[in-house]
Amino acid sequence: MIKIEHLSKRFGDLVVLKDITTEIKTGEVVSIIGPSGTGKSTLLRCLNRLEVPSGGSIQIDGVDILDRKTDAAKIRQKMNMVFQSFNLFAHLSVIENLTLAPIKLKGIGEEAARAKALELLRLVGLAEKADSYPDELSGGQQQRVAIARCLAMEPEIILFDEPTSALDPTMVREVLSVIRRLAKEGMTMAIVTHEMDFARDVSNRVLYMDEGIIYEEGPPEQLFENPEKEKTRAFINRVRSYTCRISSPDYDLYAMNAEIEAFCEKQILPKKTRYNLLLLVEELLQIYNPYLRTVVLEMTVAYSEKHERLELICESTGEAGNPLESPGLTDDLGVMIIRNLTENIDYQWLGGKNRLQLLMKTNLP
């Protein structure tokens, strides 16, 4: 029911959305994930024209909402939004928050509106808080009320803008359960979220946004298990990495070691792991040393939070060939150490470079 074509949005010189084209069909639950600052919220806010796009078109049920002539207010009544900061009306009680729009916009009588409101509150489990004021509720309760408020207008689609980002873990669950329930009942939803597990459970489709476009999209199983693109994967696995580039044999070994140590500290890796990593790096560099006069080496230490695996990736230019298996290798000891530390060593000739992927063992002494 929502067709987005070549949507773009810029704030002054900053281009947030380059070119977005996608569709949300009725009954779909679409999750939008991605790193911060990639325009996820912006995209959502464009959908109900809270932000005015710089280009492209958005059609809702065939009506181009970006056209000046369309009555945006009327369109918006078909959809509703749940905000990260809840945005409940501070001067009204909970039940009044729910009844305000139906009474004022839809002309529903007060009695009927109240009845419906109470029902919705029961749905979200907050019927007893009907006469409380927003500043008397906890975050989770407020967000649930916000959802109920949305439902009071009987929208066709609900947009969720990071609904649980402002909540602590205990409250996150209560809100997610409500959303789950809605999904079960077939409500069309677009959810911007950081809760990966939730997104996987609830969505029909997941959009991964990066670099101002929809970087990758697909059903949750595919995206979460086997993301096609590197960046997606990195994101999904919550991969953290450190890369350093060595172009001459006169590189500063000690500085590099220090930075690798810092990286490990940041990832809160145990001392043992750190030690082993440094050892591995040292041995590898020994092996590469003779080549460094003519070859550029790029070494990446990648740590996957999700799998808790540490991986070392070395990409070097020069002639094709696995450095570890080069004939002139004098240091057998070194290679042996390397093999002892790693679980898996993978060599590829990829993109004109020698790529060596070493997966470290997890339970090293």
Partner 1 sequence: MKKAVVFSLMLLAAIVFLLGCQRSETVITSLDDAKHARIGVMTGSTGEALTVARYPEAQVKSFDDIMDAVAAMKSGQLDAIVTGFPAALQVTKKNQELGLLSEPLDYEDTAIAVKKGNDALLAELNRIIAELKRDGTLESMKQRWFKTDLTPYEEMNITLPTEGKPLKVGVSATREPFSFVDKNGRVIGHDGELARLIGAKLQRPVEFLNMKFLALIPALQSGKVDLIVTGMTATDERRKFVDFTEPYYANAQVMLVRKSAGSKPAPSPAVAGRVDQGSEITKLADIDGKRIGVLGGSAGDLAARKHFPNASFQVFITSADAALAVKTRKADAFVYDKSVLLNLAERNPELVILEQPVDKLEVAAAIRKDNSALLAEMNRVLSDLKTEGVLKQLRAKWIDSKYTVTPQLPPIKGMPDKEVLRMGTCATIEPFSFQVNGKLTGLDIELSQLIGERLGKKIEIIDMNFEGLIPALQSGKIDFALSNFNVTEERKKLINFSLPYVENDISALVRRLPSPGSAAEQQTEVNQGRRQDAKLASVADLKDKRIGVLVGSAHDTYATKNYPDATILQYKSPADVALAVKTGKVDAALFDANPLREIMRQDDSLGLLGDSLFTFFVGVGFDKDNRALRDQFNRFLSQLKQNGVYEEMIRRWMEQRDTRMPAIENTPSNGVLVVGTSDAGLPFTAVKDNRLVGFDIELCERFAASLGKEVKFANMDFGSLIAAVSTGKVDMISSSIYVTEERKKQIDFSEPYYEMATHVFALKKNIAAFDVSREVKGRSMPLLTRIANSFYSNIIQENRYLLIWDGLKTTVIISIFATLFGTLLGSLVCFLRMSKRRVLNLPARVYINILRGMPVLVLLMLIFYVVFASVDINPVLVAIIAFGMNFAAYVSEIFRSGIEGIDKGQTEAGIAMGFTKIKTFVYIVLPQTVHRILPVFKGEFISLVKMTSIVGYIAVQDLTKASDIIRSRTFDAFFPLVMVAILYFLIAWILMLSLEYLERMTDPKYKRLKEGKA
Using the rule CB under 8 A, which residue among 19, 64, 67, 131 binds partner 1? 131
Give residue for tokens 């990066």. 210
Q: How far is the CB of 108 from partner 1 (least distance, A)?
A: 14
Q: Fill in the amino acid letter for 212.
A: G
When asked if residue 81 is in the footprint of partner 1 (CB under 8 A), the reply is yes
194 within 8 A of 32, measured Cβ to Cβ:
no
Q: State the Cα–Cα distance between residues 230 and 44, nearest whole angstrom.
A: 25
Choose among 135, 41, 50: nearest CA to 88.
Answer: 135
Q: Does 92 bind partner 1 (CB under 8 A)?
A: yes
50 by DSSP, 3-state: which?
coil
Q: Is 275 in the site for partner 1 (CB under 8 A)?
A: no
85 binds partner 1 (CB under 8 A): yes
The reply on whether position 148 binds partner 1 by CB under 8 A is no
Helix (H, G, I), strand (E, B) or coil at 65: coil
- CB nearer partner 1, residue 68 or residue 91: 91
Work out whether 133 is an interface residue with partner 1 (CB under 8 A). Answer: yes
> Interface with partner 1 by CB under 8 A: which range of 2-10, 99-107, 246-254, 257-265?
99-107
Residues 348 and 320: beta-carbon distance below 8 Å: no
Instruction: Please select the residue that binds partner 1; options are 46, 65, 83, 162, rule is CB under 8 A.
Output: 83
Min dist. Cβ of residue 127 to partner 1 (A): 16
Rank residues 182 and 260 by Cβ distance to partner 1 and give the closer one: 182
User: 359 with 313: CB under 8 angstroms?
Assistant: no
Among 22, 57, 87, 204, binds partner 1 (CB under 8 A): 87
Residue 364 touches partner 1, criterion: CB under 8 A: no
Q: For partner 1, give the closer residue by CB, 80 or 276.
A: 80
Please tell me whether residue 107 binds partner 1 under the rule CB under 8 A.
no
The least distance separating partner 1 from the CB of residue 132, rounded to whole angstroms, comes to: 9
Task: CB nearer to partner 1: give 44 or 196.
Answer: 44
Stretch that binds partner 1, among 56-64, 82-90, 223-231, 313-321 (CB under 8 A): 82-90
- Count of residues touching partner 1 (by CB under 8 A): 29
Length, in residues, of the chain: 365
How far is Cα 259 from Cα 239, in angstroms, rounded to an integer? 18
Query: Shortest gap between Cβ of 318 and partner 1 (angstroms)?
Result: 57
Tokens 């240091």 belong to 331
By C-beta, is 85 or 241 nearer to partner 1? 85
- Give CA separation, 79 vs 44, 49, 218, 251, in Å: 12, 11, 24, 59
User: Pairing between strand 79-82 and 239-246?
Assistant: unpaired
For residues 85 and 170, which CB has a smaller minimum distance to partner 1 in the complex?
A: 85
Q: Is 34 exposed, middle or buried (0-12, 13-18, 19+ CB in 10 A)?
A: buried
Q: What are the structure tokens assigned to 260, written together?
A: 């690798």
- Minimum separation from the CB atom of position 363 to partner 1 (A): 49
CA distances, 347 to each of 277, 281, 298, 310, 321 (Å): 19, 17, 15, 17, 9
Residue 245 identity (one-letter amino acid): R
Binding residues for partner 1 restricted to 48-67, rule: CB under 8 A: 48, 50
C-alpha–C-alpha distance, residues 68 and 121, integer Å: 36
Q: Taking the complex as a whole, how short is the minimal distance between the CB of residue 158 and partner 1, in angstroms?
A: 10
Of positions 12, 68, 90, 351, contacts partner 1 by CB under 8 A: 90
d(CA 133, CA 137): 7
Asked if 69 is part of the footprint of partner 1 (rule: CB under 8 A), the reply reads no
Among 6, 74, 272, 307, binds partner 1 (CB under 8 A): 74
* Vertex 357 angle, CA 319 and 262, to 5°: 115
By the criterion CB under 8 A, which residues form the site for partner 1?
A: 48, 50, 73-77, 80-81, 83, 85-93, 100-101, 104-105, 131, 133, 149-150, 153, 159
